Amino acid sequence: MEEWITFITDLSFPIAITFYLLHRIEGKLDMLNETIRSLPEKMK
């Protein structure tokens, strides 16, 4: 049982950081997608 607690404790911080960074990057990727889609209209 103690091994599981150590395992969860060791992995919880990297998992939390990963979810936080993915959440932040998601908004920027959406904005990049919109910009790429509107690029042909702006080039006309």
What's residue 23's pLDDT?
A: 92
What does pTM read for this prediction?
0.56
What's residue 21's pLDDT?
A: 94
Number of domains in the chain: 1
What's residue 35's pLDDT?
A: 94
Q: Which domain holds residue 5?
A: 1-44
Cα separations in angstroms, 10 against 3, 17, 43 = 11, 13, 50
What's residue 30's pLDDT?
A: 93
pLDDT in tens, 1-44: 788 888 888 888 889 999 999 999 999 999 999 999 999 998 88
What's residue 12's pLDDT?
A: 87
